[in-house]
Structure 1
Amino acid sequence: MALALTAFWPAPVDAGLAPLIAEVTRHLPVVTHARVEFTRNIVLFVPIGLLLPRMMPRGLVLPVALVATVAVESTQALLLDARVPSVLGIVANVTGARVGLLAFEASRAWRSSRRGSESLAT
Structure 2
Amino acid sequence: MPTAPLPSRRYRIVTSVLCAAWSACVAVIVFRQAQVDSEAAGVLQRGLRFLHARGLPTSIDYAFVEFTANIVLFVPLGLFWFILAPRGWRWHGPLVAFALSVLIELAQHVLLPQRVASPYDVVANGSGALVGMLVAWGALWWREKGRRRQGHFRDAAVAHPPSSRRRPEG
Judge same fold: TM > 0.5, yes or no. yes
Q: Find the counterpart in structure 1 of residue 108 from structure 2.
A: 76
Q: Find the counterpart in structure 1 of residue 145 from structure 2.
A: 113
Give secondary structure in 2 for the equivalent of 1:15. coil
The answer to which of 57-66 and 83-92 deviates more is 57-66
Map 1:20-39 → 2, pairs under 5 A: 20-27=43-50, 28=52, 29-39=58-68
Query: 1:34-91: CA deviations, max 9, x gaps?
Result: 1111111111101100111222221221221111000001111111122111111000
Give secondary structure in 1 for the equivalent of 2:40. helix
Aligned-residue Cα RMSD (Å) equals 1.2
Check the 8 A contact 2:75/2:129 in 1, yes or no. Answer: yes
Relative to its length, the structure with more helix (as a share) is 1
1:11 and 2:34 are equivalent in the alignment = yes
1:101 and 2:133 are equivalent in the alignment = yes
1:63 and 2:95 are equivalent in the alignment = yes
Which structure 1 residue ranges, 5 or more long, are not aligned? none
Instruction: Give 1:9 deviation, angstroms.
Output: 0.9
Tell me how far apart the structure 2 counterparts of residues 115 and 54 of structure 1 sit (CA, whole Å): 18
Paired AA for residue 104 in structure 1: A
Query: Which of 54, 77, 90 matches 1:48?
Result: 77
Paired AA for residue 82 in structure 2: P
Larger C-alpha radius of gyration, 1 or 2? Answer: 2
Check the 8 A contact 1:7/1:72 in 2, yes or no. Answer: yes
TM-score, structure 1 as length reference: 0.93
Check the 8 A contact 2:82/2:137 in 1, yes or no. Answer: no
Q: How many residues align?
A: 122
Tell me how far apart the structure 2 counterparts of residues 18 and 30 of structure 1 sit (CA, whole Å): 17
Identity %: 35
